[in-house]
Structure 1
Amino acid sequence: MRVITVGKKRSRGVQLIVDEYKDKLQHYCAIDDVLIRSNPKNARDIKAQIEEEDFAVINLIKSNDWVVVLDEHGQDVGSERLAELIGDAGLTGASRMIFCIGGPYGHGKQLRKRANVSLKLSSLVLNHQIALIVLMEQLYRAWTILKGQKYHH
């Protein structure tokens, strides 16, 4: 699994929580997370910024990856359904699952088109750091569900 986040440098506290969940997830799957700096070319125009971020994310995705974009307009799923999606993705022959958290203005057209599924983490709009923490926790919860284990151990 890979988590790609577009945004500013993470606070130390957020990074500690992300690292804690990465350690927990290592028992189930290899996972890495990539932070792409938002507005990498300092575009003055929002559309140009979104396109640059989109390009940077697309370049990290291989043709046989199974891609999930996290978006406020995506499907609203519970933890059990997320576990099913992860299990189903494993049956597609994909080399890895990629979860994408967009920058301040969301995802670009190329990534939306490339995505296999679009999910929302919350009805609330979350900044990328909070979305990352929620995603990491839900990925861990999903794997414990898939393996029939208790979440708190």
Structure 2
Amino acid sequence: MKSGPEKTLADHYFDRLAKAGPAIGLEFEGVTEVPEGRAKNADERKREEAARLAPLASESILILLDERGKNFTSRQLSERIGQWRDAGERRVVVAIGGPDGHPEELRSKADLCLSFGALTWPHQLVRIMLAEQLYRVATILSGHPYHRD
């Protein structure tokens, strides 16, 4: 993500998550960008991107952001992440799909396919929304009043 207001805002929430998370057992390791596939057709590009993601997602809980995924409330997402944490899972990878989305093979392996709605969102905005939701998860799990139902 290029420098600019979108990156600044996403980094703001990731920084808040990094500060709030450790007290409740959530460590933020950072953001890793996987280059977009360069194949000539969408299926090949999705496979290329999934292959690049595979090493990051191995031995991790994998959450795919996908318009066909489940619509969770913030509280439902925090409960799910809290359950994984309480079960001893130490690593969660959240993958934002490229312009072509995720291949079905990866979707079937994911622990959760999550949607931010049926609308198509620019990658920069999705990263901001994801960062804020992960921070919100940390505040919900800690009992902080940031989130209001």
TM-score (norm 2): 0.87
Cα distance, 1:148 vs. partner? 0.6
Of 23, 32, 35, 1:34 maps to 32
- Cα deviations across residues 117-139 of structure 1 (Å, max 9, x unaligned)? 11111232212211111111111
Instruction: Supply the distance in 2 between the matched residues of 1:12 and 1:37 (Cα, whole angstroms).
Output: 19
Instruction: Supply the distance in 2 between the matched residues of 1:141 and 1:47 (Cα, whole angstroms).
Output: 34
Instruction: Supply the distance in 2 between the matched residues of 1:130 and 1:61 (Cα, whole angstroms).
Output: 23
Taking only the aligned residue pairs, the percentage that are identical comes to: 33
Task: Give unmatched runs, 5+ long, in structure 2.
Answer: none
- Cα deviations across residues 35-78 of structure 1 (Å, max 9, x unaligned)? 11212xx2112111111011101121122x11111111111111
| Partner secondary structure for residue 117 of structure 2 | coil
| Partner secondary structure for residue 37 of structure 1 | coil
Q: Is the 8 A contact 1:101 1:128 kept in 2?
A: yes
Structure 1 partner of 2:41: 45
How do 1:60-79 and structure 2 match up within 5 A?
Answer: 60-63=56-59, 65-79=60-74
- Cα deviations across residues 85-142 of structure 1 (Å, max 9, x unaligned)? 1101112322211111100010123321221111111232212211111111111111
Task: Give unmatched runs, 5+ long, in structure 1.
Answer: 1-8
TM-score (norm 1): 0.85
Of 19, 27, 36, 2:11 maps to 19
Instruction: Supply the distance in 1 between the matched residues of 2:34 and 2:145 (Cα, whole angstroms).
Output: 34
Give the residue type in structure 1 aligned to 2:93.
I
Q: Is the 8 A contact 2:65 2:97 kept in 1?
A: yes
**Greater percentage in helix:** 2
**Greater percentage in strand:** 1
Give the residue type in structure 2 aligned to 1:17.
L
Give the residue type in structure 2 aligned to 1:130.
L
| Partner secondary structure for residue 25 of structure 1 | helix
Q: Is the 8 A contact 2:14 2:132 kept in 1?
A: no
Give the residue type in structure 2 aligned to 1:38.
E
Structure 2 partner of 1:89: 84
Q: How many residues align?
A: 141
